[in-house]
Amino acid sequence: MAPPATTEPTPRSLGRCVALGIGIGVGAAAICFFLIAIPFYTLASFEPNGIDRPIVRTGLFRVALPVGLLVGLASGVASTLWLRRGGAWTVSDGSDRYSNR
């Protein structure tokens, strides 16, 4: 009797994986930026001329923007590689991965 043939998953198209990675990266960067930026603006709004302070004006672009870009880049690359290597949101029976059906 012959051993069963192993079916290796075919890699997904690179364009589709990159598009998904860009979408996830932009979303993660925006969320990270706003999680850092909203407290800066909230604290600055309690002081007179608080928004004109250098920590608020330049701090967002020296802290929040680089952190957001790094988180977005890392999550985009990780999701692209995961999907390209055969990762999927559903399992073989068509249900989602986490349901108890």
**Is the model's pLDDT at 21 over the cut of 60?**
yes
Sign of CA dihedral 28, 29, 34, 40: positive
**Quick check: 74 and 32 in contact, CB under 8 A?**
no
pLDDT for the residue numbered 93: 65
Whether the predicted pLDDT of 85 surpasses 70? yes
Residue 83 binned pLDDT confidence (cut-offs 50, 70, 90): confident
pLDDT, residue 5, reads: 60
pLDDT of residue 1: 57
Average pLDDT on 53-65 reads 75
On whether the CB atoms of residues 23 and 77 are closer than 8 A, the answer is no
**Residue 20: what pLDDT?**
84
> 29: closest CA among 62, 63, 72, 64?
72
Confidence band, pLDDT 50/70/90 cuts, at residue 101: low
Name the pLDDT band for 7 (thresholds 50, 70, 90).
low
Supply 33's token pair.
């930026």
